[in-house]
Structure formats: structure tokens, C-alpha cells
Amino acid sequence: MEPLLMLTVVLLLVHAVSSLVRTAIARRRYSRCYLLDYVCLKMAMDRKVSADIAGRVAMRNKRLGVREHRFLLGVILRSGIGEESYCPCSILEGREESPTH
């Protein structure tokens, strides 16, 4: 009787662990973020940024890791924003932490 009980316990543990792994994988698979919409707006010429300047602004943010930088690059490439993009003056001036209107 003892081996049957041990086998049952082992099978239940294996089932529980495999269920947890499947749930974790499913959550990771469906936890993506997408750019849903953006607005075309003609701003002042002093707010125009090239891809090089946008890249430097993104690299300035120390909170972003490699994955986040790759995500931003993918959004920029797939959105069709191109070379004629505009940026808020607080970000261009390096005041991301204390923006004003």
C-alpha cells in the first residue's frame, strides 16, 4: 500500500508543477504591449527630431534595459514615424523628471 501512496503523491506533485509552468508560460506569452494609436500633429520646427536625436534621448534614460530599448526601436520602425518626428521640449531639454506645460 505504501508504494501506491508514494506514486500518487509524486504524480500529484508533478501535475501541480507542470500546471504552474504552463500558467507562467501562458501569462508571459499574452503579456505583450502594443502601440494602438498615435496622432499626426505639425509642431514647431524647434521640436523636430531626427532618428539619431531620438536614439540619443532614448539612451539617456537609465531606467530602460536592453529589452525596453529594443521595444522602442521596434515601435519606431513599425509605426512609420520616420525622420520627421517631433518631441516635447521638456524631453529635448532633458527635463523628463520635472516636465512643465
DSSP string spanning 46-90? Answer: GGEE-HHHHHHHHHH-TT--HHHHHHHHHHHHHHT--S-EE--HH
- At 31-52, the pLDDT tens digits run 666 667 777 777 788 888 877 7
Do 97 and 52 fall within a single domain?
yes
**Same domain flag for 73 and 54:** yes
Looking at the structure, do residues 20 and 40 belong to the same domain, yes or no? no
Same domain? 58 vs 97: yes
**Same domain membership, residue 67 and residue 46:** yes
* Containing structural domain, residue 93: 34-101
Residues 46 and 8 in one domain: no
- More reliable by pLDDT, 63 or 41: 63
Report whether pLDDT(16) > 90. Answer: yes
Domain count, the chain: 2
Q: Which of 71, 72, 77, 101 is nearest to 89 (CA)?
A: 101
Residue 1 DSSP symbol: -
